[in-house]
Chain A
Amino acid sequence: MTNRDNDQSDVPEAEDHNEVVFSETPLDQTHHKLEYTGTWNKIMALAMWNALWTILTLGIFRFWAKTRVRRYVWSHTRIDGDGLEYTGRGLELFLGFVIVALCAGPFIALFVYARMQVPVGNVGINFAIDLAIWIPLIFLMHIAMYRAQRYRLSRTSWRGIRGHLGGSSLKYAGNALVSLFFTGLTLGICKPYYDIELMKYERNHTMLGDAKMAFGGMFTPAFKKWLVIWFILLLTYLVTFGLFVALVKVLLPLAIVIGLVGAGFGAYQFARYQAWFFRYTTGETSLGNLAFSSELTPKKLFKIYAVLLISLVVLFALIVMIFSMVIGASIAASGNAGPNMPFVFAMTFLFLVLLGPVQQIVLLPMFVQPLIAAKVSSITMTGEIDRFTVQQVARSEPKTGEGLAEAFDLGGI
């Protein structure tokens, strides 16, 4: 099932002493379902506390908030009965961020200075500056993503054995630039090239103790699948748009229904690809002698997206309703036709300050956790886990974490 074509030339030599110990007897294939045991009420309570502290500390608590969420999610992800463990600390994330924030100053200044020197209407120079800024920026963002993953894995352990991500973040970012170029050039048709190439590099450099992960996913099957979906999506949106434009002035309700059905159908097709991609890439991944497979269905993904959309719409409507009621009450109390403007300003300000943290309170239990739960619980691990002995490997691991990713707002949970 798995092609072990991984390039592990940069794995330190010392690690080769500790090969994974396999049983000499033929493997009795057993299946282990991965579990996710987190509950929505617990993570919502956690999200609420985090939001409160984040607001009170003007955002600085977010590093510790993220650590608490990770600790919760990791510990409820169970493999063979034992939860994963997140050993990272908020302080490490904070220090990583401070270092990057201090280094970012000169780059921002350079960017602003270059932008200020461009005369109005000079499209050519503007484009050149955009290119000169965006290419290194995309490169840096991928370095950040890889380094963040390296930090997360170094702080992830199972049964006391730490994870590790080798490889070079520069090579990863280089691969990303090339594959993004092809993706852009082909109007998104080559998107699987980007997805597969990056996943291949990352997974082939991932380890748990001395057990190496291997990924045998290929571009062609992913491309075939994506190509079909890409055309269905294109056709769906063209037809929907055409019908919508034709009907919008004649029969608005029908136009809206067609628009919604079209968008929903498109989203379902996208979920189909995503579910397939997850099943395919999981099936092509192995860790030592353990193989993985997934039964993730598009229906499950689509349901999660639909719940997210409905939650956000309800939340937004609720906020607007409360906001309108409060302003209405202010008008009624003052007896004037116009509202009390300082009060309205204060309310608007409060609304903007609270929007981000409130969104987090909804996103974590309604979207992030269900998505993780759906993915994790769809995975089956095949192999004799009792006869699979992984040894700890002493390595130097990053002391601080995710600063660059945090500066780009790429940290995830």
Chain B
Amino acid sequence: MAESDDPMQGQARFFDGLSITSHHVAVTIADRHLIVELDDDRRRSYQIDNLVLCEKPTGMQPVRLRPHTDDGARIVIDKGPFTDTLIRQFPKLTVAEGSSKFRALLIGGISALVACIGLLVWFGVPITAELLSNVYPRDSEIRLGEIARDQIISAFALENEENDEEVVCVPNADAMRGLDQIMHQLIKSGDLDYTYEITVIRSDMANAIALPGGQIVLFSDLLQMATSPEGLAGVLAHEIGHTEMHHGLRKMFYGIGLGQLIWLFGGGLDAPIDLLFQHSYSRQMEHDADLYALDLLGKAKVTSHDLAALLEKMSRQRTRNGLQNTIPEFLSSHPDTDGRSALFKEARLTGKVDIPYADWLAIENICRF
């Protein structure tokens, strides 16, 4: 077939979608239609708005077209004046999912999806975590707490492999009596759901952890830093608050749900986006545990001033170690220490824990002898 000078007419190869046989055909643009002239005076007419590009034309690659509803038919046109005319006159001729309408829909859809995921992260996952922690069997929770405690002990034992000292410090009779007395004063004042067990671990980290099911782990440095039994009572009241409000379980379910959600929708994204949300969730729990501790200390008639002093002391030590104020609050699992300390100071609760001085000394030195 001879090439025509008319830019509205051209030559193409046509595949009918039934076989791979190529038909050399003449093509014409007429009234928003692409007319394909087949042999024997047969012709096929395609409305150009219903055609899509098989791929974006690049370089000298031929332009390939197909109907939007794919029936296998293909029109393959070599690059030239005809394809230039076609693309110029029909700028909306794009690949599938390439139209501006589709792009707008895609952006809208993805934005809506991101908003839905956001709602799920802010409300759905925490609510689900709370529901699950409320129905989680108590026996399993207690066992879980024991397993977690053993794992912590194993981890510390591994870290202290080179030292001969035992990782778990066993309190002597005085220390045991003192700890029992502090716990008794707190427990009798509150309507508590769990039986508590305290484990003291040898560590230079001043901290305490509440595990599910009533397990509380105290690190020896905290005992040495606490200057009074009231300060320690404040710490224990805070940890009891975590346990009574199922914070351990809630955090666990929240972490699993959030991690999976972000991993799935982020396509295995390595960035620790979930940490940002988890820390925000954790800060709220710390705040709730502080409020619980205030309430419990009030009922037990124990001053909160010593806990405030202990928090300040811990803060000063962090400053000395060059760590204070280095991590912004939004990346921290705990609220700002100054704010927490102010909360306990301003509560102005008074009262003492009734234990002999010898017992307190024994508690302070649990891991020293």
Contacts and interface: CB of A to CB of B under 8 A. Distances in A.
15 contacts: A54-B267, A58-B117, A58-B269, A59-B265, A64-B97, A82-B76, A85-B55, A89-B96, A105-B260, A160-B16, A338-B326, A355-B270, A356-B271, A391-B18, A406-B267
Interface of A: 37, 42, 54, 57-62, 64, 67, 71-72, 74-76, 82-83, 85-87, 89-91, 97, 101, 104-105, 108-109, 112, 116-121, 157-162, 209, 338, 341-342, 345, 349, 352-353, 355-356, 388-392, 406-407, 409
Interface residues of B, number: 52
B17 interface: yes
Contact of B72 (A54, A109, A162): A162
Given A60-B110, A356-B269, A391-B19, A120 B328 contact: no
Interface stretch (B147-155, B295-303, B341-349): B147-155
B150 A119 contact: yes
A118 B328 CA distance: 37
Given A85-B55, A108-B260, 17 more contacts: A42-B58, A58-B273, A60-B265, A61-B110, A71-B56, A74-B55, A101-B264, A104-B264, A159-B20, A160-B15, A161-B15, A209-B20, A341-B327, A345-B331, A356-B269, A389-B19, A392-B72
B61 A161 contact: no
A89 B272 CA distance: 30
A60 B20 contact: no
A62 B267 CA distance: 8
B74 interface: yes
B154 A75 contact: no
Given A108-B260, A116-B147, A390-B19, A341 B270 contact: no
A74 B18 CA distance: 21
Contact of B55 (A54, A82, A83, A353): A83
Given A71-B95, A158-B20, A160-B16, A352 B144 contact: no
Contact of A90 (B76, B97, B150): B97
Contact of B54 (A75, A104, A409): A75
B343 to A, nearest CB: 24
Contacts of A356: 268-271
Given A108-B256, A112-B256, A341 B19 contact: no
- Among all A-B residue pairs, the 8 with the closest Cβ atoms: A59-B266, A75-B55, A341-B326, A160-B72, A160-B15, A353-B271, A352-B271, A159-B20
B97 A59 contact: no
A120 B147 contact: yes
Nearest to B74: A160
A43 B195 CA distance: 63
A209 B117 CA distance: 41
Interface in B96-130: 96-97, 106, 110, 113-114, 117
Contacts of A87: 54, 66, 70, 96
Given A159-B22, A160-B72, A117 B322 contact: no
A391 B16 CA distance: 10
B54 A85 contact: yes
Nearest to A119: B147
